[in-house]
Amino acid sequence: MKRFAALFVSTLALALAGVATAAAADGSYGPWEPTYQGAITAPAGVVCSLEVTAEPVREDLSVRYHYDAAGNIDGYQAKGQLIARITNTETGASVVRNLSGPGTVTFNPDGSYDAVVAGGFLVFFLGQDNPAHQLLLLSGATVLHGAPSGAKTLVSHEGTVENLCDTLG
């Protein structure tokens, strides 16, 4: 099965589109640079009981990478506008949602990561995740933890939640 990004977010793409060519070696952020979020398709049964695709309708995203003292990337920040169409590919039913907002991802030494997002955050929760098998649009303040195994845990959320599996089902 094609590996797809587990997160489709206003500003975060855990499968990094690119890495800055000049690394700061002083524990600081590099410059903002443009990035993009491609379409993501989750086959039926992986996230929802139906196949679902999320694809950008409008986007203007930027990312900047954080470097540790040795010059290695240990996190990133992202910001900008992302409007996405989320579609039940079996029926053609779709909705357009605003996934815009800033976020920060920190990579931990054990291979896990922590994401803190303000604004729209669309998360593809798989069977191993907590919560499992849900496509959640989290609007507001969200904290997500990703284990080294790839499992995601919703740590906290303040704001509204829409389960797009239900909306599109």
pLDDT digits (tens, 9 = 90+) for 112-129: 999 999 999 999 999 999
Region of poorest pLDDT, from 21-30, 58-67, 101-110: 21-30
- Tell me whether residue 87 is in a domain: yes
Among 35, 23, 21, 56, residue whose Cα is nearest residue 103: 35
The parent domain of residue 43 ranges over 7-168
Residue 16 has pLDDT above 50, yes or no: no
Instruction: State the pLDDT confidence band at 25, using cuts at 50, 70 and 90.
Output: low
Mean pLDDT of 38-43: 97
Query: Is residue 2 situated within a structural domain?
Result: no
Does residue 109 fall inside a structural domain?
A: yes
17 in the Ramachandran plot: left (φ > 0), alpha (ψ -120 to 50) or beta? alpha
1: in domain: no
Q: Quote the mean pLDDT of the chain.
A: 89
Mean pLDDT for the stretch of residues 11-27: 47
Which residues share a beta bridge with 90? none
The domain tally of the chain equals 1
Instruction: Give a yes or no: residue 128 inside a domain.
Output: yes
Q: Model-level pTM? A: 0.85
Q: How confident is the model over 131-137, as a mean pLDDT? A: 98
Q: Does any domain span residue 20?
A: yes
